[in-house]
Amino acid sequence: MQIPTDKKSQSLKIISALTIIILLVSAVVSMQNTSKPLEIETVSPSYDYLQTTVSAFGSLQPKVRHSILAQVDGIIENIYKRPGDKVSQGDLIIELVNPKLNRSIEQEKLLLQGKLAELEKMKATQRQLLQKQESKVLIAQYDLTISQSKLEAQNKLAALSIVSSLDLQQAELNQQKAKLFLEQEKYALDALKAMQKAEMNAYEFELQRATKQLELLERDKENLKIRAGQKGVIVKLNTNLEAGLNIQEDTMIGQIADPASLFALLRVQASQASLLELNQSVDIKIKGQHVSGLIERISPNVENSTVEVEVKFTQVLPSHSISNMSVTANIHYKSKDKNLLLVKPKHINYAGTNTVLVKNEISQRVKPQQITVGWIGEQHIQILEGLAVNDEVVLTDPREWDGSL
């Protein structure tokens, strides 16, 4: 069947007209889209207080510690306490043995007994010599008394011319001789007493030395029992301790901590250290429980990109708190003055020079702008330079911006 020529030409005209209409409509729509600017979401900086939470991590540490030291050489016989055990002052922790020390004590006891025997013997000898010399003094006094009596008698007889002057002179010489002899015997007695006193002092010194030496050895024997020097919890004990191990004097065996002196030793990222100050409030989480505290010390040194912070507690710690227990903390910060803040773009993660996109209010064009960022929080950043309050900032990463409007 053939289509008439007039009908075929009419259909072609209709199709051509429809095509022209579609092209015209597309052109109009395209012109409208070109003349209408693309709407871009922007944010503007504003002045407000910096409020943020600085995260920290660390552990509980005691301010009061007592070292457990071996004060004498010895071999471990028994271990009575282990890390984590609570102790009172004087509790036995480790017991040592030292056979050599025991022998030294027995030898010193024998030496002391010998010194005591020698002392008693010396006292007896001194008493004997002293009595002998005192007897000599008494005899000399008696001789002097007799010679004085004879001299007085000779004087009376001489006055009566019964004896000669020669006999009188002889009596005077005998009296002087007796007097001199008495003085010599008294001097000898005094010298003997002085010598005996010096001997006694020397023996007493030796006796004291021997007694003191025995006391020291007995104390060393007592020190074989290593006891707790204070009340607390054993936080450290050498892992290699076992029965039969030889321990040298002054070896540190472990540590005892006072639970009442626990504080939080935290580490904070160095980039956030400028937000910290003394007496700043801290919320510390200990095994699921929250305890309040205040910053007591901030270290001026940076180690592994972190700063050390000490926090004292203002609340009673949970009963299960022990030294070296890991903790986390949130340090709350609010600035004293208002700062220029901007909603945090996703691509800004460090302080210092960064780049953002700023939309020109008049031309509506977007261009890159360098800014200086200070503090960086979870939701806002601090603008130090490069932006003003009325600037419109596009939060898109400049590296992903295609330049279209």
Higher pLDDT, 352 or 28: 352
Instruction: Please state, in angstroms and as integers, the Cα–Cα distance from residue 163 to each residue in 49, 78, 148, 175, following that order.
Output: 134, 100, 17, 17
- In this structure, how many other beta carbons lie within 10 angstroms of the beta carbon of residue 393? 21
251 and 140 co-located in one domain: no
91 and 176 co-located in one domain: no
Average pLDDT over residues 294-316: 95
Let me know: does 327 contact 60? Beta carbons within 8 Å. yes
Least confident interval from 7-11, 124-128, 208-212, 265-269: 7-11
- Number of alpha carbons in the 13 Å side-chain half-sphere of residue 100: 4
Gap between the Cα atoms of 386 and 370, Å rounded:
6
Number of DSSP helices (H) and strands (E) in the chain, helices first: 3, 19
pLDDT for the residue 35? 43
208 and 144 co-located in one domain: yes
Given 223, 246, 281, the domain boundary residue is 223
CATH of the domain at 125: 1.10.287.620
Give the helix/strand (H/E) hosting 7: helix 5-35
pTM: 0.58
Condensed to tens digits (0 to 9), the pLDDT of residues 18-35 reads 666 666 656 555 554 444
Condensed to tens digits (0 to 9), the pLDDT of residues 91-140 reads 999 999 999 999 999 999 999 999 999 999 999 999 999 999 999 999 99
Residue at token pair 């004990």: 237
Of residues 133, 120, 138, the one with CA closest to residue 194: 133
Structure tokens belonging to residue 1 = 């069947």
Of residues 61, 70, 64, 121, the one with CA closest to residue 97: 70
Q: Count Cβ atoms within 10 A of the Cβ of residue 2 and give its class: 0-12 exposed, 13-18 middle, 19 or more buried.
A: exposed
Average pLDDT over residues 150-168: 86
92 and 235 co-located in one domain: yes
CATH of the domain at 239: 2.40.50.100
Rg, C-alpha atoms of the chain: 54
Of residues 51, 50, 52, 42, the one with CA closest to residue 387: 42
pLDDT for the residue 8? 55
Q: Count Cβ atoms within 10 A of the Cβ of residue 236 and give its class: 0-12 exposed, 13-18 middle, 19 or more buried.
A: middle
Number of separate domains in the chain: 3
Q: What residue numbers bound the domain in which 373 lies?
A: 46-61+258-400
**Residues facing 333 on adjacent strands:** 52
318 and 236 co-located in one domain: no
Q: Is residue 120 part of a domain?
A: yes
Phi then psi for residue 235, to 5 deg, are -100, -15
| pLDDT for residue 50 is more than 90 | no
Measured over the CA atoms of residue 337, residue 341, residue 347 and residue 353, the dihedral's sign is: negative
Average pLDDT over residues 32-41: 53
Confidence of residue 37 (pLDDT cuts 50, 70, 90): very low
Least confident interval from 40-44, 228-232, 300-304, 384-388: 40-44
Confidence of residue 253 (pLDDT cuts 50, 70, 90): very high
Average pLDDT over residues 274-284: 92
Maximum Cα interatomic distance, the chain, rounded to a whole number of Å: 217
103 and 182 co-located in one domain: yes
263 and 253 co-located in one domain: no
What's the full length of the chain, in residues?
405
Structure tokens belonging to residue 260 = 């009442």
Q: Is residue 32 part of a domain?
A: no
139 and 190 co-located in one domain: yes
CATH of the domain at 333: 2.40.30.170
302 and 168 co-located in one domain: no
Q: Is residue 25 part of a domain?
A: no
| pLDDT for residue 166 is more than 90 | no
Triad 47, 48, 54: Cα angle to 5°: 130
195 and 118 co-located in one domain: yes
pLDDT for the residue 396? 87
Q: Is residue 355 part of a domain?
A: yes
Let me know: does 283 contact 311? Beta carbons within 8 Å. no
pLDDT for the residue 198? 95
Least confident interval from 133-147, 153-167, 216-230, 257-271: 153-167
121 and 172 co-located in one domain: yes
- In this structure, how many other beta carbons lie within 10 angstroms of the beta carbon of residue 355? 16
| pLDDT for residue 270 is more than 80 | yes
Structure tokens belonging to residue 237 = 């004990």
pLDDT for the residue 36? 44
Mean pLDDT of the chain: 88
Give the helix/strand (H/E) hosting 262: strand 262-269
Higher pLDDT, 144 or 32: 144
Condensed to tens digits (0 to 9), the pLDDT of residues 372-396 reads 998 887 788 999 999 999 899 998 8
Gap between the Cα atoms of 339 and 372, Å rounded:
13
Q: Is residue 29 part of a domain?
A: no
